[in-house]
Amino acid sequence: MDFTVRPIGRVESPLMSTADAPRQGDEGAPDANLILDSEVQAGLHGMGVGDEIILLTWLHQADRSILSVHPRGDLTRPEQGVFTTRASSRPNPIGLHRVQILGMDGVRLRVSGLEAIDGTPIVDIKPVLGAIDER
Amino acid sequence: MDFTVRPIGRVESPLMSTADAPRQGDEGAPDANLILDSEVQAGLHGMGVGDEIILLTWLHQADRSILSVHPRGDLTRPEQGVFTTRASSRPNPIGLHRVQILGMDGVRLRVSGLEAIDGTPIVDIKPVLGAIDER
């Protein structure tokens, strides 16, 4: 049984292609904007500047048929299964990004270092979980 | 533009309903099995017992129309946007679970404390990222 992902917004970034993008957000990725659809604005209620969030994206340029890759594209490293790597190529190319909110204006969020390219569909936002007694 | 998620396997768990399930894996959830489809077995190459993984699921019983919830179902707490909570109800109900691999037998993985119920579709597996120089 399949399921349908309906994007809730898009990434706005100076990164225009995956060739320009670092492999992870903490490897020199630029700040970016998340432009959410106005229909989901109520879902942001309670979010604020400084919050650490987990952003889920759909890596729309990924090759979904690939199951093995050279880690980090390094041909000197033996191939590994994609589920042991963060390669974008995988059966369901969901991107996982931990970022911090630097600014908010309605459905427009400014976030720290994000390696997703301009136009990447956003599929979910979750808080980073604190200790059990703070949930 | 929408996208299609094609599950790569299912959770096998003693948790038979969300009413029985703890809210997070570290809140007393039982160990569980991940039964992957044989077509994606190559994607597991290099994974081993003891690895910490991030499991992505599709929370198939979630209500996708909900944008606000009382955190942790506690009616004494004011409603917040779903993107500031880990509620399963959200536009794209993707579950995010950090677990450890306790055992592996082909496409069958045993994992530690998982709050997803029996039959939950699995959509992706990623490694927990180490320090930059260890990637």
Any B CB within 8 A of A119 CB: no
Q: Do A135 and B60 touch (CB under 8 A)?
A: no
Which regions of chain B are under pLDDT 70?
none
Q: Do B126 and A96 touch (CB under 8 A)?
A: yes
- Give helix then strand counts, H and E, for chain A: 0, 9
Any A CB within 8 A of B6 CB: yes
Residue range A23-75, pLDDT digits in tens? 888 888 999 999 999 999 999 999 999 999 999 999 999 999 999 999 888 89
Rounded average pLDDT over A100-104:
98
Instruction: Give me the sign of the Cα torsion angle B15, B22, B35, B64.
Output: positive
Residues of chain B with Cβ-Cβ distance to A45 below 8 Å are 68, 79-81, 84
Q: What does DSSP assign to residue A30?
A: P
Q: Do A43 and B67 touch (CB under 8 A)?
A: yes
Q: What amino acid is encoded at B120 in this protein?
A: T
Torsion angle of the four alpha carbons A73, A74, A77, A78, in this order, in degrees rounded to the nearest 10: 30
| Maximum C-alpha span of chain B | 48
Q: How far apart are CA B116 and CA B23, in angstroms?
A: 9
Rounded average pLDDT over A80-106:
96
Q: How far apart are CA A119 and CA A103, in angstroms?
A: 19
Nearest CA in chain B to A84: B127
pLDDT score for A133:
77
Q: Do B44 and A81 touch (CB under 8 A)?
A: yes
